[in-house]
Amino acid sequence: MKVLGIESSCDETSAAIVEIAGESLHVLSCVTASQDTLHEEYRGVVPEIASRAHLECIVPVVRAALAEANTTLGCIGGVASGTRPGLIGSLLVGTSAAKAIAWASDRPFVGVDHVGAHLVACLLDRPPAVWPALGLVVSGGHTSLFALGSPLEPTLLGATIDDAAGEAFDKAATILGLGYPGGARLDAAAELGDPERIPLPRTRLKGHDFSFSGLKTALALAHQRAPTEIGALAASFRLAVVDQLLDRTWRASEESAARTLLVGGGVAANALLRRELIHGCEARGIDLRLCDMRYCTDNAAMIAATGALRLQRGDRDGWDVVAEPLSSLARGRRGERRRAE
Ligand code: KG4
Ligand code: ZN
């Protein structure tokens, strides 16, 4: 069965076709229009600008995804959209479009939770995983650790109590004058710096929760003292974030029988995090399902794949399913993801 997925929760308009056969999820196309340049001057996503840009892009992006997959709506078995969490005006564009396409082509519709979809992204175009698993979602809006009995059943173990990891990277990049969106730029700057030169503190909460806002303040103070040491500050900040993510993940894996680890979300593109995860999972005998770089940041392939898994087990959502700012699976700090600040 082929499924059309639509993602519009924040500042990417994306459509994808994924084919499901048993447990295998094969991406036939994934077309994404980014709005980065529209929001850059505000150093954050401006919700009104985002919704308007989604409206302009949604139809051409869906058409391009169908064409790239060499298919038509007549060959699609169902339609999925990310209905939560996200900016409400943005979510409404993709969800309304998905419902309209499903209704007009007489196909079933399912709504998908975006945070859970970041974990399903780790399963795209890969051999089936062994369950149970642990799952780490590290994105611009969420930092959450899950236990999973199956791809559609994540149970929250812990989450950030303040900033998400991606949000912390973006704010740190702003402090260091690296521009927006800053996660990838800070990552690149950190590759050239010495992480030991200006040490930053580690946050160690009890349990599986995370916290990054104190680290951001420590970086701002260190930057005031050493304003020219951009590479060293970026490297030290990145190491402190990655240390915290790994500390919680390894602790959870010691307490769990799961031998599979899924890691998804925009921050899963981070070079140091990827290296350390590969190394740490090898040493612990864990089967690492690290999200392919193409599917770390927001994309519709993960929405189509989650929708395909739901449709395959017989789930159907009504036309009355609404877009919602909060995830049903994870806690967000303010419910919605980043806004321009
Ligand atoms: O998953 P995503 O596209 O959006 C949300 O669901 O929030 O994640 C975007 C986040 C941004 O905060 C961005 O700065 C961060 O992922 N990011 C990175 C890297 N690439 C993207 N953070 C650290 N290192 C990277 N290489
Ligand atoms: Zn996301």
Does residue 270 have its Cβ closer than 6 Å to ligand 1? yes
Residues 163 and 223 both lie in one domain: yes
* Pairing state between β 109-113 and 78-84: parallel
* 331 SS3 class: coil
Least confident of 71-85, 229-243, 318-332: 318-332
Question: Is residue 58 included in any domain, yes or no?
Answer: yes
Does residue 187 have its Cβ closer than 6 Å to ligand 1? yes
Ligand 1 centre from 212 Cα, in Å? Answer: 15
317 in Cβ contact with 21 (< 8 Å): no
Residues 40 and 183 both lie in one domain: no
140 in Cβ contact with 35 (< 8 Å): no
Residues 221 and 111 both lie in one domain: no
Q: Counting ligands in written order, which one lies closest to the CA of residue 139?
A: 1
Task: Write the pLDDT tens digit of every residue in 26-78.
Answer: 999 999 999 888 888 888 889 999 999 999 999 999 999 999 999 999 999 99
- The confidence score (pLDDT) of residue 113 equals 97
Residues 145 and 110 both lie in one domain: no
Does residue 298 have its Cβ closer than 6 Å to ligand 1? yes
Question: Is residue 338 included in any domain, yes or no?
Answer: no
Mutate to test the pocket of ligand 1, among 32, 34, 137, 139 (most ligand atoms within 8 A of CB): 139
Q: In this structure, what are the phi and psi dihedrals at residue 148, rounded to the nearest 5 degrees? A: -125, 125
Section 289-308 average pLDDT: 98
Going by C-alpha positions, the residue among 215, 183, 177 that lies closest to residue 198 is 215
Residues 106 and 191 both lie in one domain: no
Domain coverage including residue 92: 2-120+298-313
> How is the beta sheet containing 78-84 ordered, strand by strand?
24-34, 12-21, 2-7, 78-84, 109-113
* 209 SS3 class: coil
Burial of 184 (0-12, 13-18, 19+ CB in 10 A): middle
pLDDT-derived band at 331, boundaries 50, 70, 90: low
Instruction: Quote the number of domains for the chain.
Output: 2
Question: Is residue 251 included in any domain, yes or no?
Answer: yes
Does residue 171 have its Cβ closer than 6 Å to ligand 1? no
**Dist CA 50 CA 336 (whole Å):** 14
Question: Is residue 340 included in any domain, yes or no?
Answer: no
Does residue 86 have its Cβ closer than 6 Å to ligand 1? no
**pLDDT for residue 334 is more than 50:** no
**Dist CA 151 CA 188 (whole Å):** 32
* 14 SS3 class: strand
> Mean pLDDT score of the chain, rounded to an integer?
94
- The confidence score (pLDDT) of residue 180 equals 81
Residues 114 and 209 both lie in one domain: no
Question: Is residue 29 included in any domain, yes or no?
Answer: yes
- The confidence score (pLDDT) of residue 176 equals 97
**Dist CA 52 CA 267 (whole Å):** 26
Question: Is residue 70 included in any domain, yes or no?
Answer: yes
Closest CA to ligand 1's atom 8: 266
Q: Counting ligands in written order, which one lies closest to the CA of residue 32?
A: 1
Residues 44 and 182 both lie in one domain: no
**Dist CA 283 CA 269 (whole Å):** 21
Question: Is residue 257 included in any domain, yes or no?
Answer: yes
- Please report, rounded to a whole number, the percentage of residues in the chain having pLDDT higher than 70: 97
Q: Nearest-5° angle of CA 158, CA 164, CA 165? A: 100
- What tokens appear for 165 in the block? 């990891």
- The confidence score (pLDDT) of residue 330 equals 74
Instruction: Please state the length of the chain.
Output: 341
- The confidence score (pLDDT) of residue 303 equals 98
Higher pLDDT, 43 or 108: 108
- The confidence score (pLDDT) of residue 332 equals 58
Closest CA to ligand 1's atom 10: 140
Ligand 2 centre from 267 Cα, in Å? Answer: 10
Residues 107 and 189 both lie in one domain: no
- The confidence score (pLDDT) of residue 171 equals 94
Does residue 336 have its Cβ closer than 6 Å to ligand 1? no
Residue 6 — left, alpha, or beta (φ > 0 → left; ψ -120 to 50 → alpha)?
A: beta
Task: Write the pLDDT tens digit of every residue in 243-258.
Answer: 999 999 999 999 999 9
Residues 178 and 88 both lie in one domain: no
Question: Is residue 42 included in any domain, yes or no?
Answer: yes
- What tokens appear for 29 in the block? 């196309």
- The confidence score (pLDDT) of residue 268 equals 98
Q: Which residues pair with 35 in a beta bridge?
A: none
Residues 144 and 284 both lie in one domain: yes
- The confidence score (pLDDT) of residue 328 equals 86
**Dist CA 195 CA 192 (whole Å):** 9
88 in Cβ contact with 59 (< 8 Å): no
- Which atom of ligand 1 is the closest one to the Cα of 114? 6
Task: Write the pLDDT tens digit of every residue in 67-105.
Answer: 999 999 999 999 999 999 999 999 999 999 999 999 999
Ligand 1 centre from 314 Cα, in Å? Answer: 33
**Dist CA 163 CA 122 (whole Å):** 23
HSE-CB of 245 using CA atoms within 13 angstroms: 30
C-alpha distances out from residue 267 to 137, 164, 218, 296, 340, Å:
8, 10, 20, 7, 19
Residues 226 and 90 both lie in one domain: no
pTM over 0.85: yes
State how far Cα 334 lies from the chain centre: 17
Does residue 182 have its Cβ closer than 6 Å to ligand 1? yes
Residues 108 and 143 both lie in one domain: no
**Dist CA 338 CA 38 (whole Å):** 15
CATH of the domain at 181: 3.30.420.40
